[in-house]
Chain A
């Protein structure tokens, strides 16, 4: 039974992570996001993100259901807006976002007593999470986050994930708490007795690493990212319960601290890539793309004209 569950977990993690990373890379090649007016990412920003990563799960566990759902709706709305606004006209985008989130909540309340309902729920949730991971990772990398930042961050998460899974079981509790609630921040699926998912946090790190590696080191960076995400981000965390029964919780499924396996390898890969060439920054990337004449999509902002000026112009 553990072998089958592990195989299913590996399959879901592979499909989820590789689909997210591929979409994030394609998005990065084609879409220019508007940089937020907060300057360039630096080490202090990474420390702030780490602080929130520690505090937010505790808050999630304490928040009442309604407040948590409201919080998730706001978070997903922002992430979907960031990702979709350059691609879709505003009116269509807002209708789509509202429909996706409302459908998710409605299905959670009305159909989760059936397997088909769960499959529909996971399909909609996975779409929302994939778009969110693509948009937010691009916002960070296009905002100036470098592979060096992400490598250190992944190393921090390796320790964090191990500690909060095996010493203080916060991560398994959080995974339990999200199940059966609207907008579980995971890509997942269920078939028969098996139920597997991979969290938005893991997907974000994979997308960040792949996009930053591609930006910083070109094709070599992207290939290296794909290889380590496949092996250390999906296959090993998915299959490790076969060897380490500690991660198997009877009747509940498996919660594996994936970053514990991915983080150190990501850190080493960064230094390996840096041994070939210095990391490109965003300006250098833009210059390369302009030289190649690559087409890009930019955020569309409606141009507003004052009525008086408009009539004077006629």
Chain B
């Protein structure tokens, strides 16, 4: 059998190409108020506040080669906390390079701690506050663009929107679902 060096080189290049293609990692583009980005050895924030019932999305930066094993606890060690959602128990949650993981809903109000067992100095505090549902919603979504004006404006405007007397005692998200854009304390008012 004759030797075909060029064929061997081509096969090697093909194998290399397949391996590279298999290994290609893409970055998830996830943004939002409940997203926690992780880089090589840090959470991009050390504290986050969410409402009961919310989920957290952990995104591992694709530009680093590091993975993270998340657990309920501090300083790289598991410390179970009553009311915390399931983080995989003793196995933790393994978030590979460029991957994202969505936690189960945080249903119990309280303060919790999350750590990475690979990088013990990665610590995140999660504060879960009560979820307060609005007792009234606008009659029609067509009026949605007017809603911030009404809140910042007159009682009459709100009365028109809701079609009568209503008591607003909680947090109302704006119409993009982004609660951060409207300061909550301004909505904590009694319209009656």
> Which A residue sits closest to B24, measured CB to CB?
A62
Contact at B41–A251, with CB atoms within 8 Å? Answer: yes
Contact of B77 among A64, A111, A114, A249 (CB under 8 A): A114
Cβ of B78 and Cβ of A114 under 8 Å apart?
yes
Q: Is the interface of A mostly helix, strand, loop or mixed?
A: mixed
**A113-B87, A252-B40 are known contacts. Are A62 and B65 too (CB-CB below 8 A)?**
no
Question: Is B20 an interface residue, CB under 8 A from the partner?
Answer: yes
Tell me if A192 is interfacial: C-beta within 8 Å of chain B: yes
Contacting residues, chain A, for B42 (C-beta < 8 A): 250-251
Closest to A252 in B: B41
Q: Compute how far the CA of A113 lies from the CA of B70 in the bound complex, rounded to whole angstroms.
A: 7
B172 touches A (CB below 8 Å): no
Among A64, A109, A173, point to the contact of B65 (Cβ < 8 A): A173
Does B62 reach chain A (CB closer than 8 Å)? Answer: no
Q: Is B69 an interface residue (CB 8 A)?
A: yes
Distance between Cα atoms of A190 and B77 in the complex (Å): 11
- The interface residues of chain B lying within 8 Å CB-to-CB of A174 are 65
Q: Answer yes or no: A88 CB below 8 A from chain B CBs.
A: no
| Contact, CB under 8 Å: A109 / B64 | no
Q: Using A64-B23, A114-B92, A252-B40 as known contacts, list a sample of 20 further A-B pairs with CB atoms less than 8 Å apart, ordered by residue number in A.
A: A61-B23, A62-B19, A62-B20, A63-B22, A65-B96, A112-B118, A113-B69, A113-B88, A113-B89, A113-B93, A113-B117, A114-B117, A115-B76, A117-B117, A173-B65, A176-B64, A180-B118, A181-B67, A195-B119, A251-B121
A153 within 8 A of B: no
Which residues between 2 and 51 of chain B lie within 8 Å of chain A, taking CB atoms?
19-20, 22-24, 40-42
Size category, A interface: 20 to 34
> Which residues does chain B contribute within 8 Å of A109, judged by CB atoms?
91
Q: How far is the CB of A221 from chain B (nearest CB, A)?
A: 38
Q: Is A48 an interface residue when CB atoms closer than 8 A count as contact?
A: no
- Docked-complex contact B75 and A193, CB < 8 angstroms: yes
Residues of B within 8 A of A76 (CB): none
Closest 3 pairs between A and B when the two form their complex, measured CB to CB: A113-B92, A251-B41, A252-B41
A56 in contact (CB, < 8 A): no
- A306 vs B65: C-alpha distance when bound (angstroms): 55
In the complex, the answer to whether A114 meets B71 with C-beta atoms within 8 Å is: yes
Residue on A with the closest CB to B88? A113
